[in-house]
């Protein structure tokens, strides 16, 4: 039982590290659009956790397309909490 619990904890930490590694870090040559905003909104929790531990992780991409990125970012954050399904 302890082995199963330890392996489950290890897998959860591994998944957390893999997901948080996709957080926007520094400005690259590419502009992030709607889908980039959705992704960054969805992984904001992991970005914030990285910020708490002092890592150099950005919360959003500085090099973005403007309104479409922002809209995707808000949709990504809303999708994290269940979005419209919770309004029922």
pLDDT at residue 67, rounded to an integer: 92
Q: pLDDT digits over 4-31, tens only?
A: 888 888 888 777 776 655 555 555 567 8
Mean pLDDT, residues 48-59 taken together: 83
- What is the pTM for the complete model shown? 0.59
Q: Which of 65, 72, 62 is nearest to 35 (CA)?
A: 72
pLDDT at residue 68, rounded to an integer: 92
Q: pLDDT digits over 27-46, tens only?
A: 556 788 899 889 888 888 88
Q: pLDDT digits over 55-77, tens only?
A: 888 788 888 888 999 999 999 88
pLDDT at residue 27, rounded to an integer: 55
């Amino acid at each position: 039982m302890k082995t199963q619990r330890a392996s489950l904890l290890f897998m959860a930490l591994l998944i957390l590290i893999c997901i948080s590694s996709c957080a926007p870090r520094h400005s690259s040559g590419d502009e992030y659009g709607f889908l980039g905003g959705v992704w960054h909104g969805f992984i904001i929790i992991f970005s914030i956790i990285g910020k708490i531990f002092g890592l150099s992780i950005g919360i959003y991409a500085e090099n973005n397309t403007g309104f479409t990125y922002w809209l995707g970012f808000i949709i990504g954050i809303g999708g994290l909490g269940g979005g419209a399904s919770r309004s029922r």
